[in-house]
Amino acid sequence: MSPDAEPRFHILVDDPGILASRLGDVARAIAKALKVPRTDAAQRVRYGAGIVGRDLPEPATDEILASFGQEGIGAFAIPSPEVEPLPRTLKLAGLAFVEGGLVGTFRGTDRREEIAWDRVRAFHVTVVARERSADEVEEGRTPRPLYDVTTLPPDACRLSTELDFWEDRERTRKLELALDLLAQDPVLVARISAEDADYATLAEGKALSSLANFLLFVRALAARAPAHVVVPPATRAFAENASWKDLLVEKPEQREAQNLWLLHASRYGRAYGGATTAKEAAEPNPEPEAPAAPAPADPPRS
């Protein structure tokens, strides 16, 4: 941005979870400041995954933040040039735990991606409802294999049954579970798919079911990650009891928006009020502990 250019800002809410109940309040404040129809503002907010305003001029930014403050909605603004597009997602075959961090592996090659814990900012699980192709719809849905249900944890059996039921009802859509891990210096988005990940490095409790192993891996990651790593409440619930409906997103673009919000909200120590960390995901009802987020050069506007 040139020195004479008008400064622009992105506005992020502290907790995207509030949008389920307060979408109208958020949209009303944005519509008033930007002089756009409330329905248009609501549409932008709904798919922004916590980023409720993009490239806004300073007066509109201040007006929106003031309205949010009056409504009790936590939010902050950062200069738009700081919100760079995320790099292409690195699709991994698996993630292995090593001393000091993680190592990503790739299918069909010896390549490895080392990720130190001090680089990791956050991780989260998503369930994307993908549209089936015409061929897939014609062939019909293949139920997920569960092998011997008597040897699997009850929550893994329930998870598989619920996913199958949802897909049977929807027919034209398929649910795809994945875990995204976000790191910095440099920025990295790494993803493993639940159904075809390599779980060879899992120790105790490894099962034949990919869903059971995915759940086991998410729990292991939550237990081993340092306290500064941000874990969204919906991912914590998934780790604790295999709850998945709050992880559902309608479009892959929503997942990318979640990643962008998570990276910047965690950088500024504002994600979910700065109190949702890996330690909390692994230990129910822990003592409150603030994450060790690096202080930005310029504090966010709020």
Provide the residue ranges of all domains of the chain, joining segments of one domain with +. Answer: 8-82, 90-282
* Residue-level length of the chain: 302
pLDDT band at 148 (very low <50, low <70, confident <90, very high): low
Question: Is residue 194 predicted with pLDDT exceeding 50?
Answer: yes
Mean pLDDT confidence for 16-22:
85
Please give the pLDDT value at position 269.
Answer: 80
Q: Are 105 and 232 in contact (CB under 8 A)?
A: no
The one-letter code for the residue type at 201 is T
How far apart CA 200 and CA 219 sit, in angstroms, is 16
Please give the pLDDT value at position 195.
Answer: 87
Please give the pLDDT value at position 146.
Answer: 60
Mean pLDDT confidence for 263-289:
57
What is the bridge-based pairing of β-strands 188-193 and 90-91? Answer: parallel
Percent of the chain with pLDDT over 90: 29
Helix (H) or strand (E) holding 121, with range, is: strand 120-131
Question: Is residue 88 predicted with pLDDT exceeding 60?
Answer: yes
pLDDT band at 4 (very low <50, low <70, confident <90, very high): low
pLDDT band at 137 (very low <50, low <70, confident <90, very high): low
pLDDT band at 273 (very low <50, low <70, confident <90, very high): low
pLDDT band at 142 (very low <50, low <70, confident <90, very high): low
Q: Give the lowest-confidence range in 75-89, 124-138, 263-277.
A: 263-277
Which of 3.40.50.300, 3.55.40.20, 3.30.1390.10, 3.40.50.1100 is the CATH number of 8-82? 3.30.1390.10
How far apart CA 256 and CA 176 sit, in angstroms, is 15
Question: Is residue 136 predicted with pLDDT exceeding 70?
Answer: no
Question: Is residue 288 predicted with pLDDT exceeding 50?
Answer: no
Question: Is residue 82 predicted with pLDDT exceeding 70?
Answer: yes
Question: Is residue 2 predicted with pLDDT exceeding 70?
Answer: no
| Structure confidence by residue, pLDDT tens digits, 41-64 | 888 888 788 888 888 999 899 998
Please give the pLDDT value at position 268.
Answer: 82
What's the pTM value of the predicted model, to 2 decimals? 0.82
| Structure confidence by residue, pLDDT tens digits, 228-271 | 899 999 999 999 999 999 999 888 888 998 999 999 888 888 87
Please give the pLDDT value at position 276.
Answer: 41
In Å, how far are 78, 95, 104, 198 from 263, measured between CA atoms?
A: 13, 20, 19, 26
Please give the pLDDT value at position 114.
Answer: 92
How far apart CA 28 and CA 220 sit, in angstroms, is 42
Please give the pLDDT value at position 143.
Answer: 65
Percent of the chain with pLDDT over 70: 82
Please give the pLDDT value at position 272.
Answer: 79
How far apart CA 282 and CA 222 sit, in angstroms, is 5
Please give the pLDDT value at position 294.
Answer: 40
